[in-house]
Structure 1
Amino acid sequence: MTLTRLQPPDWPAPKGYANGMLGRGRMVLVGGQVGWDAAGRFPAGFVAQTEQALRNILAVLAEAGAGPERIGRLTWYVTDIAEYRDSLAALGPVYRAVMGRHYPAMTLVQVAALVEPEARVEIEATAILPD
């Protein structure tokens, strides 16, 4: 089972995400992951926290026997949209190092705060595994 990207033919091609994904199977819902390690320590900086949050998502998915290629959707919550935009050049290589070249449907929104005061980003994932 693979996920299929959904792209209306007259829309511009997205960069770094998909407009939609089609899949069938068992769902894995990964709650929002912040950028702390297993000991609850946050690295310094937005990019480092994003990398750790993505690694945390993959650790949860591994419990279901899945990897990044099964992710159909990521929802990102950031505390500073300008910080996100200013980090785009550094985020690309970090994202690919963790997730490969799999770009699911994504949403990114700025929020006033996250539950952990040190957190700069929180990411939740929806994955689809074969039946």
Structure 2
Amino acid sequence: MPHKSIQPEGWPEPKGYANGILASNGTLYVGGQIGWDTEGKFAPGGFIGQMEQALQNIRDVVEAAGGTPDDIVRLTWYVTDKQEYLDSQREVGAAYRRIMGKHFPAMAMVVVAGLVEDEAVVEIEATAVIG
């Protein structure tokens, strides 16, 4: 089976990238997701709102591939403000559990100077193993 592009229903077609690629071995690579919805509008609530939306976007891609949040094995976070993240730990945990439950895959966090979309303050990419 060749690799398959994964596109959640109702999402606009990406230009020059894929939201997800499902490999023939069941590994799903989810491209970096930011805190905007299918209309390109950023979630309200600053870092927490964007983080929650980015995680929901990841969940949508995983579910479109036939998986669940429990299939996610890795998350890589890119944040523009380390202190904002550190100051929001309680809210980060609550928002994470709302979307991902109590499943905690391997994770890395990288502080970056900026993201391609000027309004974005967090981008998260994921790897999942489906099936």
- Report the TM-score range of the alignment, normalised by the length of the smaller protein: 0.7 to 0.9
Question: TM-score w.r.t. structure 1 length?
Answer: 0.79
User: Which position in structure 2 is the counterpart of 1:121?
Assistant: 122
Q: What CA deviation, in whole Å up to 9, does each residue of 1:59-91 have, x standing for no partner?
A: 111111111000000000000111110111111
Which gives a bigger RCO, structure 1 or 2 (Cα 8 Å, sep 6+)? 1
- For residues 1-131 of structure 1, the aligned pairs below 5 Å read 26-44=26-44, 45-130=46-131
Give the distance between the partners of 2:77 and 2:106, measured in 1 at CA. Answer: 11
Give the distance between the partners of 2:41 and 2:130, measured in 1 at CA. Answer: 31
What SS does the corresponding residue of 2:109 show, helix, strand or coil? strand
Q: Please report how far the alpha carbon of residue 40 of structure 1 lies from its aligned counterpart in structure 2 after TM superposition.
A: 0.4
Post-superposition, which runs of at least 4 consecutive aligned residues in structure 1 deviate over 2 A? none
Give the distance between the partners of 1:31 and 1:95, measured in 2 at CA. Answer: 18
Question: TM-score w.r.t. structure 2 length?
Answer: 0.79
CA RMSD of aligned residues (A): 0.8
Give the distance between the partners of 1:129 and 1:52, measured in 2 at CA. Answer: 22
| Count, aligned residues | 106
Q: What CA deviation, in whole Å up to 9, does each residue of 1:84-118 have, x standing for no partner?
A: 10111111111001000000000001001101000
Give the distance between the partners of 2:116 and 2:28, measured in 1 at CA. Answer: 23
Once the two structures are aligned, what percentage of the paired residues are identical? 56
Give the distance between the partners of 2:130 and 2:32, measured in 1 at CA. Answer: 19
Give the distance between the partners of 1:54 and 1:46, measured in 2 at CA. Answer: 12
